[in-house]
Structure 1
Amino acid sequence: MIDAHSRAWWRATLALSLGSFLVFLNLYAVQPLLPELHRVHGVSTLVANLAMSLATLSLAAALLVFGPLSDAIGRGGIMRLTLLAAGGLSLVQGLAPNFEVLLSLRVLQGFVLGGLPAVAIAWMGDEFERSAMLPAVGLYIAANSLGGIAGRVIGGWVAEVAGIPASFLTVGSLTLVGVALFWRLLPAARGFAPRRFRLSEALGDLAGHLRQPDLRGAYLLGGLNFLVFINLYSYLTFRLSAAPFSLDARWLGLLFLTYLGGTLGSSLSGRLARRAAPPTCMALGTLLLAAGMAMTLAPSLAVILVGLTLAAFGFFLAHSMASGWVGRRARGARGSASALYLVFYYLGASLGGLWLEPFWRAGAWPGVLVGGGLVLVVTLTLAWRLRRWAAAEPSTQGMAEASASSPQTSARRSERPQADL
């Protein structure tokens, strides 16, 4: 097992963070282009947003495939090959003749982009010591936000200077260079124990995860928070592209530099987890997300940017905690447990437009914030319930430790993964 902050830990964490960066570089490069797609193709805001939501929906579906599959055949090959395919599809999108073909390619790309997120945290669970897990997850998720920033900034600026096709070609070329480096950096797996794939067992694993209240709460919390957060940015591009702000694609891309707040929130999550229970940190992150959203009501662009930075910090803090919680609490089949978290996560992103569009039509930007606020009330309730569960856990653990004094019990425990890994 790999110890925290060893040379092998840094190499593996760098490789997985680079892979995470490339996934979100490709996924979000289209987001600052939504107003331009809306204008050029004459489609509604909801249809333009399909370039994002369909990709995230197919990514969510892919997680149900790659997670269980990785438990059977290994994780490294899945990550390498799907990243390579994602870069190639970005290049092909640059040649798309119309909006319908672009959407089809985005659906296919979303599916292959699911390969790395489905298995990366499970790879860490196989290879890292427990003490190495949380800081690695924090850096990995920080790379999510950096990839999202880079995709949006590069996508917006290149599209404004050279057109939308050039934006996809640039992102695809950068991805292929990054894949070559990822391929070289990722260490060979040593802790992975393959399981023969059986559909009935895979479905049983998923059902077992859903029966765990501590996992189920984290799944819902992550998905509902992401429903609000990612679509907050999507609808804000429509608001800021109109008067009185009238920002073009270049400046809308720079808007996503506020994700740096999320990078900070993710990277600090490991330290915060040593001072407070993860559910408490999830609740804190959700409250900061709500506070940042409220600040975007201001008519000042500067205040809006501060609010977005605060919202990003809070969201990624909660996401890091929820994701790491799942990776450590899963009782076996970590690949499918982590994949199921991300299924909920990206389903939230995909369904957010359907939830928020009526609020946008009825009340414009204030309406979007009302719709998002209603969802955050639910996620705060979930965090509170997880906190109560975690507070009750020490007594349960004490009973388990007392019963573990016999050799038979110790042997049985050594044969299965522990819930708090």
Structure 2
Amino acid sequence: MFRVAENTLDQPIPPQALQPAPVLANPIEPDYLAKGSCAYNRASIALFLSGFATFSLLYCVQPLMPLFSHDFGVTPAASSLSLSLCTGFLAFSIFLAAAISEQFGRRSLMFASLLGSAICTIICSMITDWNLLLVIRALQGFLLGGAPAVAVAYLAEEVEPRGLGATVGLYIAGTAFGGMCGRVVTGTLVEMFTWRPALAIMGLLGLAAAIGFFRLLPPSRHFTPHRGFDPKFHLSAWLGHMRNPALPCLFAVSFLVMGAFVTSYNYIGYRLVAAPYNLGQTALGMIFTVYVFGILASWGAGRLGDRFGAFRVMPVGLLTAAIGCLLTLFSPLPLIIAGIVLLTIGFFMSHSLASAQVAKLARGTKGHASSLYLLAYYMGSSIAGTVGGVFFAAAGWPAIVSFTVGMLVVAIICGLGAKMLAAR
């Protein structure tokens, strides 16, 4: 039943058989950035700098809005356009940049995005005409979209899977740190100088971060440019996600929760720099350090979502944000700050869970689903952030609270709707 192999001991051994076999570094993951390697560490730091620069340059104008109203003689709603126009153009830029990067490459697009945005911030510090400042901020938003649109795509392509989570986490930490520093550092610099030197310094910091990013980030090894642009393919992918019944509900959650969050942050400064609080710019900027609670909440929400289900935890986050908005109606400053903390925690909880569910429920072309989510996210910032100024001008802070709580209630309904539709 068994055949005995022939004895080959007397046969001559070919010379090539005496050569040592080549050692394969890793046949499954060739040339990936290995966790702990120098290239991996450089990429991690580079993406942290990218996240920091993107969101510090985006949000550095938020604590300056009361000063814009004073120096340029514009209303709070008009002053909010310095952020809303930027986030609005950023939304469309992100929407398109992921597709454009398939032709021009990840690294080059991200560097051009960061460099152009930093230069725009420096230019804004020298402008004396309000309308021109808004034009430059709109241009900045459009340029800025290239970095967040493809950062995670670069990491997914270049980093070995076992080290991907850590690098993405560091990038997200950079975005949160940048969003906080853009507000806190700018507010502190304004107290020391005026808003023009403050913006110039932020622009120079962004420029340094862009250069550091480009020098540190290893070139792409696994990216293959796709020549030509097929609008029909991209349109079909976007429409396909809109036909998924649960996803539009999650896009609505994104729009509403971001709108409520940014509206509250936009106009709380007007309330706190006025009597009876009379806070200075440094004290006002320090309030934005509550972002730390948001960073922790985002991490904690992910763990709770894994254990109890994202659709069960998401309404808790939205309700927490609504309670935080209601707390800001009270006069004592500690209660107002506690309300901002709860709003921030609730926002980061619901945002992290909603974005994760979009990635989970999307059927193919997940990048296109993510771009729709981000479009809704930043359009919520842009539209609601400016419309809130109309409410504030009409009836002060109570009107802002009514507006934001109303959006959060609708967001809870949309979240429950997404849960029901996803279960079908």
CA deviation vs aligned residue, 1:340-359 (integer Å, no higher than 9, x gap): 21111111011113432343
Partner of 2:6: none
Structure 1 residues 3 and 331: CA distance shift in structure 2, 3 A:
farther
Per-residue deviation, 1:5? 6.7
1:325 lines up with 2:357 in the alignment: yes
Residue aligning to 2:192: 161
The change in CA–CA distance for 1:235 and 1:278 in structure 2 (over 3 A counts) is: same
| Structure 1: distance between partners of 2:414 and 2:219 | 38
Could you say which residue in structure 2 is the equivalent of 1:100? 131
How far is 1:9 from its partner? 6.6
Whole-angstrom CA distance in 2 between matches of 1:32 and 1:111:
21
Summarize the Cα distance change of 1:317–1:31 in structure 2 as closer, same or farther, 3 Å threshold: same
Q: Aligned to 1:198, which of 230, 255, 280?
A: 230
Contact 2:77/2:387, CA 8 A, preserved across alignment = no
Q: Supply the AA of the counterpart residue of 2:210.
A: V
Partner of residue 286, structure 2: 254
Structure 2 residue 182 is matched with structure 1 residue 151: yes
Is the Cα contact below 8 Å between 2:257 and 2:411 reproduced in 1? yes
Partner of 1:293: 325
Q: Give the Cα–Cα distance (whole angstroms) in 2 for the partners of residues 221 and 5 of structure 1.
A: 35
1:325: how far off?
Answer: 3.0
> Does residue 1:387 correspond to 2:419, yes or no?
yes
Matching of residues 326-365 of structure 1 within 5 Å: 326-365=358-397
Where does residue 12 of structure 2 map in the other structure?
none
SS in 2 for 1:274: helix
Alignment pair present for 1:176 and 2:207: yes
Offset of 1:132 from its aligned partner?
6.6
Matched residue, 2:5 = none
| Matching of residue 263 in structure 1 with residue 295 in structure 2 | yes
Q: Which runs of 5+ in 1 are unaligned?
A: 393-421
User: Which whole-Å CA distance do the structure 2 matches of 1:74 and 1:23 have between them?
Assistant: 18
Alignment partner, residue 85 of structure 2: 54
SS of match in other structure, 1:275: helix
Farther-moved stretch of structure 1 (312-321 vs 341-350) = 312-321
Secondary structure, counterpart of 2:189 in structure 1 = helix
What's the CA shift for 1:235?
1.2
- What is the alpha-carbon distance in structure 2 between the residues aligned to residue 313 and residue 139 of structure 1? 19
Where in structure 2 are the equivalents of 1:101-120 lying within 5 Å? Answer: 101-120=132-151
What corresponds to 1:370 in structure 2? 402
Q: CA deviation at 1:72?
A: 3.9
Is 1:18 paired with 2:49?
yes
Answer whether contact 1:28 1:52 (CA < 8 A) is retained: yes
* Conserved 8 A contact 2:327-2:335: yes
Distance in 2 between the 1:330 and 1:9 partners? 29
Residue 97 of structure 1, CA deviation: 2.5
Q: Give the TM-score normalised by the residue count of structure 2.
A: 0.84
- Once the two structures are TM-superposed, the CA of residue 128 in structure 1 deviates from its matched residue by 6.2
CA contact 2:57–2:203 (8 Å) conserved in 1? yes
Aligned residues of 2:76 and 2:393 also touching (Cα < 8 A): no
* Aligned counterparts of 1:222 and 1:191: Cα–Cα separation in 2: 32
Taking a change above 3 Å as real, the CA distance of residues 267 and 13 of structure 1, as seen in their structure-2 partners, is farther
Whole-angstrom CA distance in 2 between matches of 1:298 and 1:14: 42
Match of 2:243 in 1: 211
Which structure would you say has the larger Rg?
A: 2
In the alignment, is residue 121 of structure 1 matched against residue 152 of structure 2?
A: yes
Does 351-360 or 255-264 show the bigger shift?
351-360
Give 1:405's aligned residue.
none
What is the CA–CA distance in structure 1 between the aligned matches of 2:203 and 2:416, rounded to whole Å? 42
1:216-236 CA-partner distances (Å, limit 9, x unpaired): 222221111000001101111
- Whether the 8 Å contact between 1:83 and 1:179 is mirrored in structure 2 is yes
Which segment drifts farther, 113-122 or 100-109?
A: 113-122
Query: Is the CA contact 1:155–1:167 (under 8 Å) kept in the aligned structure 2?
Result: yes
Distance change (3 Å), C-alpha of 1:360 and 1:94: closer
Equivalent residue number for residue 236 of structure 1: 268
6, 9, 28: which one aligns with 2:59: 28
How far apart, in 2, do the equivalents of 1:170 and 1:140 lie?
23
Contact 1:125 1:327 in 2 (8 A): no
Amino acid at match of 1:108: L
Amino acid at match of 1:307: G
CA distance in structure 1 between the aligned counterparts of 2:117 and 2:237, rounded to whole angstroms: 28
* Aligned residue identity for 2:56: L
- Evaluate the alpha carbon distance shift between residue 17 and residue 331 of structure 1 in structure 2; reply closer, same or farther with a 3 A threshold: farther
Unaligned 5+ runs, structure 2: 1-28
Residue 44 of structure 1 aligns with which residue?
75
Indicate the residue corresponding to 2:304 in structure 1: 272
